[in-house]
Amino acid sequence: MTEQEKSRADVRRIMDFEASMLIIERDVAQFKANRIDELLNEYGQAKGLAEADKKTVSYVLEETFTILKFETSKGERLGEYEVAHKSSNLPDKWSHAYNILRQNNAVINSRYSGPTYHFSYWLYSENKIYRQRLKAQG
């Protein structure tokens, strides 16, 4: 490996580390903002403020999840669903999506989805993100 190639490898490593730190910092900030909103809402409800009853929920773009590589699976109870494995995806994209689902306690009985989403998302086992196409509203 030439000196220039070594230098590039070191820069990539630093940049990956910095990117990882920025992702973590962003996710922590998002978690803090959501938690502060919850606490202020509870405070407002305790004080009897009318505005406190309005729940404001913000969702990330579904693209956060659709950029992951999913594999189709089929189960007897769930029918058709898809699984994204950590090892098959870019670490920064995977971590961001995983952290959003973890922060929102997205499990099979309480899945994560937004008003314009085509899929619902949840966590069940480590290093996997699950999704299933939402049924059309009639």
- What tokens were used for 79? 């029918």
Q: Where are the beta strands (DSSP E) in the chain?
A: 71-75, 79-85, 119-122, 128-133
Q: What is the span of the domain harbouring residue 84?
A: 63-133
**% of the chain surpassing 70 pLDDT:** 82
Q: Tell whether 121 and 68 lie within a shared domain.
A: yes
Rounded to an integer, the average pLDDT of 21-46 is: 75
Q: Tell whether 27 and 70 lie within a shared domain.
A: no
Q: How many domains, the chain?
A: 2
Give the pLDDT confidence of 62-100 residue by residue, as tens digits. 999 999 999 999 999 999 999 999 999 999 999 999 999
Q: Is 34 inside any structural domain?
A: yes
Specify the pLDDT at position 6: 61
pLDDT of 57 higher than 70: no
